């Protein structure tokens, strides 16, 4: 609870330290509290620019079959290397990119590479000028062991 209070007070360093410590020693036994703590840990990691860590944290929730717009947004921000304060306004094309990338990341956590790849390809064709989208798609291709395609995608960025 201390870490969540610190999150609300924007005491990010202390909040992430306390939330991670609680997770590591198994303090968060209540499932609902664990979900809230993991989600906020992911947000703190995004705020700190630790996109890989945020992606892993949000991925734990997705693996546990947690689904919400907020989680999808967090996963999209992590994939696109964006901090929450830079999140595009709802209803804008940028918000659509974030949500789309988040949906693909949820599929990726379920090891549904084919569907995630198809969705990323569609999103990339709609928004070809978004370099972070090319990076996210290339990372997916690398995880699917499609190295040549990933290199080509990075060349498109």
> Quick one: tokens of 130?
């978004």
Determine if the pTM surpasses 0.85: yes
pLDDT for 85 equals 92
Burial category of 80 from C-beta neighbours within 10 Å (exposed 0-12, middle 13-18, buried 19 and up): buried
pLDDT of 28 above 70: no
Least confident of 18-27, 58-67, 101-110: 18-27
> Quick one: tokens of 23?
């997770």
Closest CA to 87 of 62, 97, 41: 97
- Residue 113's domain comprises 71-157
pLDDT for 156 equals 76
Residue 37 placed within a domain: no
- State pLDDT tens for residues 79-112: 999 999 999 999 999 999 999 999 999 999 888 8
Residue 10 placed within a domain: no
pLDDT of 21 above 90: no
Annotate 59-87 with DSSP letters as a single string. HHHHHTT---HHHHHHHHHHHTT--GGGP
| Total count of domains within the chain | 1
Residue 41 placed within a domain: no
Please give the average per-residue pLDDT across 18-27, as a whole number: 80
Q: Measure Cα distances from 139 to 15, 18, 41, 84, 101 in Å.
A: 29, 30, 23, 21, 12
Residue 61 placed within a domain: no
Which residue is it, tokens 């949820």?
106
Please give the average per-residue pLDDT across 134-144, as a whole number: 90
């Amino acid at each position: 609870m201390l870490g969540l209070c610190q999150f609300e007070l924007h005491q990010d360093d202390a909040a992430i330290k306390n939330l991670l410590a609680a997770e590591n020693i198994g303090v968060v036994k209540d499932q609902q509290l664990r979900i809230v703590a993991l989600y906020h840990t992911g947000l703190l990691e995004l705020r700190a620019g630790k996109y890989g860590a945020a992606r892993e944290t949000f991925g734990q929730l997705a693996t546990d079959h947690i689904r919400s717009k907020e989680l999808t947004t967090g996963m999209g921000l992590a994939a696109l290397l964006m901090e929450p304060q830079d999140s595009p306004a709802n209803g804008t094309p940028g918000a659509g990119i974030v949500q789309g990338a988040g949906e693909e990341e949820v599929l990726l956590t379920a090891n549904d590479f084919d569907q995630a790849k198809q969705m990323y390809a569609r999103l990339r064709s709609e928004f070809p000028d978004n370099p972070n989208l090319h990076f996210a798609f290339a990372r997916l291709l690398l995880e699917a062991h499609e190295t040549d395609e990933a290199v080509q995608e990075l060349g498109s960025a």
